[in-house]
Structure formats: C-alpha cells, structure tokens
C-alpha cells in the first residue's frame, strides 16, 4: 500500500520555465517536495535563488510541504517511505537555501556562542539545521552537535565551548522529556546559570518550555534567531 502511494506520486521531473514569477517558482518548489523529487527540489531552489526569491520565504514553503506529508502520515494515508522521500527532497533544497542565507547575511561581529543539537532518541534534523543557519547568519558562532545527542554530551559541550546559549530541538512527544533531562543535568552540574536555554520542535510550546525551566521557545527558526538576539540584549535585524 505504502509503496503504491509512493510510486504513484513520483511523477516526471518538472522543467524550469523562463519568465516565471517568484510565486510560480515557490509553488513548483512545494510541489516537487510533495512528489519526493530531490533533484527537482534542488533545481527549483537554485532557480528561486537566481530569481532573488527570499530564501526564508522559500524555506517556509518547504516547511508547508513537509508538514502536509507529516499530516498525511499522521492520518495513516502516507507511510515511512513518504516521510523519507519528502525529507530527502526538502534537504536537497534546504542545502541551496542555507548556502544562500550564509552568503547573503553573515554578520562579521560575533554576538555570542551557541551550542545546538537534537535530543537523544531523535534523528530529526531539518528544523535544527535551519535554526543553526539562521543563528549563524544573525552573527552567532554555532557548534552543531547533530542529532541523537545525550544529556551528558550536551553538558560536556557546555563545559567545553562555554556557550551563551544552548539551543535544543525535539520533534517527538516521546523525546520532548529529554529537554527537561538536559536542563536538570545542567543544574546538577552547576552550569544552569551560565547558559540560556532555548527549545523548539513540533511538540513543544511555550507552556512546556516554561514548565521545564527553559529561557525561551519559538515555533520558527526566524523566531529562534530573534529570541537568541533578545537573550543577548541585542536588537539586531533578522
């Protein structure tokens, strides 16, 4: 069943057409992600960059596409290969957009240091990587620890890099409690007061962030960068 849906929506790669508007390009970018076409997604992302489309807007459109796939999975209409196909397409487009964001915006001034990662048991990395890119472009030095990062590894990284901010991502309701575990581990290691902790990911909300003792939460990567700037007492444009 899953294979049937998967192959059915894997349609022919779309052609890039001259004279398209930014909205046409974004529509095509979204469509090819929902068709799991990684090559076309990369090509449309390049086209978007060439035509001067805002890379953050393009990233939002990609997020809409992957969210639709996630919703289909949640309803039982789509399956793991669909999540993987969508994620691969999204990642190949994101690489182009992230390069463009870095090229456009890197600030020379170092506003502070951030350690970031996705919590233990969780391998979702698309949102976390986007957060890292936007923090970099906002002017932070970012140490990205990757995915499936244990509480011990977060604590060690805080000891080693002495960051101003620890940014953690959790995408599963089963891994969200890891965020609390890391904050508690920082507390028992006497490190909690030395670092601001920000959290995010699909199952996280403001209330949960407050409850576990985080310093901030945002539902978006742009919001994460704004939050980090605010925590550092900087206004900064993003």
Neighbours of 150 (CB within 10 A): 17
Nearer to ligand B12, 40 or 78 (CB): 78
DSSP letter at 149 equals B
Q: Hey, is 119 helix, strand or coil?
A: strand
Of 213, 138, 139, 131, nearest to 168 by C-alpha is 131
Of 207, 153, 109, 187, nearest to 168 by C-alpha is 153
Q: Is 199 in the site for ligand B12 (CB under 6 A)?
A: yes
Note whether 199 and 217 are within 8 A (CB): yes
Of residues 131-160, those binding ligand B12 (CB under 6 A): 131
User: How far is Cα 142 from Cα 169, in angstroms, rounded to an integer?
Assistant: 14
Binding segment toward ligand B12, per CB under 6 A, in 20-28, 34-42, 98-106, 198-206: 198-206
Q: Is 70 in the site for ligand B12 (CB under 6 A)?
A: yes
Nearer to ligand B12, 20 or 83 (CB): 83
Shortest Cβ distance from residue 49 to ligand B12 (Å)?
18
Q: Is 119 in the site for ligand B12 (CB under 6 A)?
A: no
The size of the interface with ligand B12 (CB under 6 A), counted in residues, is 42
Binds ligand B12 by CB under 6 A, chosen from 33, 49, 224, 229: 224
Binds ligand B12 by CB under 6 A, chosen from 122, 144, 164, 178: 122
In sequence order, which ranges of 14-54 are alpha helices (DSSP H)? 22-34, 38-50
Binding segment toward ligand B12, per CB under 6 A, in 11-19, 24-32, 154-162, 201-209: 201-209
C-alpha of 116 from chain center: 11
Of residues 6-35, those binding ligand B12 (CB under 6 A): none
Please, how many CA atoms are within 13 Å of residue 224, restricted to the half-sphere of its CB? Answer: 29
Q: Which residues bind ligand B12 (CB under 6 A)?
A: 63, 66-67, 69-71, 73-74, 80, 83-84, 87, 121-128, 130-131, 167-169, 171-174, 198-203, 217-221, 224, 227
């Amino acid at each position: 069943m899953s294979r049937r849906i998967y192959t059915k929506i894997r349609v022919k790669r779309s052609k890039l057409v001259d004279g398209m508007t930014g909205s046409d390009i974004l529509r095509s970018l979204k469509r090819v992600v929902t068709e799991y076409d990684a090559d076309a997604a990369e090509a449309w992302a390049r086209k978007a960059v060439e035509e001067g489309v805002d890379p953050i807007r393009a990233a939002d459109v990609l997020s809409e596409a992957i969210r639709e796939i996630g919703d289909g999975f949640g309803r039982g209409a789509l399956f793991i290969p669909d999540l993987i196909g969508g994620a691969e397409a999204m990642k190949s487009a994101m690489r182009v957009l992230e390069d463009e964001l870095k090229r456009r915006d890197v600030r020379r001034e170092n506003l502070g240091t951030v350690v970031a990662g996705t919590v233990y048991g969780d391998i979702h990395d698309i949102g976390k990587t986007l957060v890292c890119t936007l923090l970099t472009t906002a002017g932070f030095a970012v140490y990205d620890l990757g995915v499936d990062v244990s509480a011990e590894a977060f604590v060690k990284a805080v000891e080693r890099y002495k960051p101003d901010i620890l940014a953690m991502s959790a995408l599963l309701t089963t891994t969200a409690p890891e965020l609390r575990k890391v904050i508690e581990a920082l507390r028992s290691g006497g490190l909690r007061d030395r670092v601001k902790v920000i959290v995010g990911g699909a199952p996280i909300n403001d209330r949960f962030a407050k409850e576990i003792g985080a310093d901030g939460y945002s539902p978006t990567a742009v919001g994460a960068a704004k939050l980090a700037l605010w925590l550092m007492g900087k206004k900064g444009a993003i």
